[in-house]
């Protein structure tokens, strides 16, 4: 074979190889573009779970946070928020003694991440209005009916815990987790509120009257104690009085009178003038 023929053969083979390579590259590129257009990738963000629907049917698998591959045209992924949410619900109820109450309930809750598919299957995205709000209403009514109106005020912490426990039990059946619960407002009817206020006022007056009675009794006992002490003192003094003591007191009085006398007789006439025998005391 001539050198020119060998060269032409090599060039022919090399050209065919380049064409085959180019064909493969084009096919791969088209396939890649096709895959991108079909978008088989799904990203689940932090605080979310992916509910997989295959031809509209909820699948047992739940996608965690991250990147996942789905079957184009067959699978659809619904992202559900599983972070903690706050719900406020107005509730009305009646106590065991038939007193109407109004309250505002604050509930912190989140969807159970492992069962997000079941929540979606049962309630779609309407689980708050379809399950949480009715559960709050029922729990408040059930627990309030266990207490009379006075206990609802004085045992508010117990009432709160009872409602919280009942809500946890009920919502857990629907894969809703209760994180916290608070009664942020609690009111009775206007008539009952006035009755409570009047009762408190009466109790305050009763306490004041009782305190005044105790004070009067203490003061009376103090007065009696002082009188008894004075009487005892007089009794002891009386026991110590004798003829000699009387004579001594009389002499002391006369000596004081002599010390004060200026030597002149009183200028007032009439009546008897007392006579003091001064010589008797001068020795």
CATH 3.30.2270.10 fits 85-188, yes or no: no
CB 75 within 8 A of CB 53: yes
| Dist CA 239 CA 232 (whole Å) | 11
Residue found under tokens 């987790």: 177
pLDDT in tens, the chain (283 residues): 555 555 455 445 555 567 777 777 767 766 555 555 556 788 999 999 999 999 989 999 999 999 998 888 888 999 999 999 999 988 889 888 888 888 899 999 999 999 999 999 999 999 999 999 999 999 999 999 999 888 888 888 999 999 999 999 999 999 999 999 898 888 887 777 666 666 666 667 677 777 777 888 888 788 877 877 777 776 666 666 666 667 767 777 777 777 776 666 555 555 555 555 544 544 4
| Dist CA 163 CA 151 (whole Å) | 15
> pLDDT at position 49, please?
95
Q: Kindly report the pTM of this predicted structure.
A: 0.58
| Dist CA 241 CA 238 (whole Å) | 5
> pLDDT at position 188, please?
81
Question: Cα–chain-centroid distance for residue 87?
Answer: 17
- Domain ranges in the chain are 1-38, 42-81, 85-188, 199-254
CB 167 within 8 A of CB 135: yes
> pLDDT at position 44, please?
93
Hey, is 80 helix, strand or coil? Answer: strand
Residue found under tokens 């206007």: 190
């Amino acid at each position: 074979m001539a050198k020119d023929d060998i060269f032409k053969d090599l060039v022919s083979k090399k050209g065919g190889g380049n064409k085959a390579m180019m064909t493969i590259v084009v096919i791969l590129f088209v396939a890649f573009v096709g895959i991108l257009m079909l978008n088989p990738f799904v990203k689940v963000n932090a605080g979310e779970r992916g509910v997989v629907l295959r031809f509209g049917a909820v699948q047992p698998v739940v996608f965690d946070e991250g990147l996942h591959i789905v079957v184009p045209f067959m699978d659809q992924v619904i992202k559900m928020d599983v972070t903690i949410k706050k719900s406020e619900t107005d509730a009305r109820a009646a106590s065991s003694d038939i007193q109407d109450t109004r309250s505002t309930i604050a509930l912190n809750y989140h969807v159970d991440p492992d069962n997000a598919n079941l929540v979606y299957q049962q309630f779609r995205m309407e689980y708050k209005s379809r399950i949480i709000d009715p559960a709050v209403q029922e729990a408040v009514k059930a627990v309030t009916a266990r207490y009379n109106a006075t206990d609802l005020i004085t045992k508010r912490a117990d009432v709160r815990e009872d409602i919280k426990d009942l809500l946890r039990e009920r919502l857990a059946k629907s894969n809703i987790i209760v994180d916290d619960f608070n009664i942020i407002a609690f009111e009775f009817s206007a008539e009952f509120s006035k009755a409570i206020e009047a009762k408190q006022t009466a109790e305050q007056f009763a306490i004041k009257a009782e305190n005044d009675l105790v004070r009067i009794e203490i003061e009376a006992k103090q007065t009696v104690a002082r009188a008894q002490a004075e009487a005892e003192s007089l009794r002891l003094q009386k026991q110590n009085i004798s003829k000699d003591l009387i004579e001594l007191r009389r002499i002391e009085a006369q000596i004081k009178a002599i010390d004060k006398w200026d030597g002149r007789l009183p200028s007032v006439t009439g009546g008897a003038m007392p006579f003091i025998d001064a010589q008797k005391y001068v020795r």
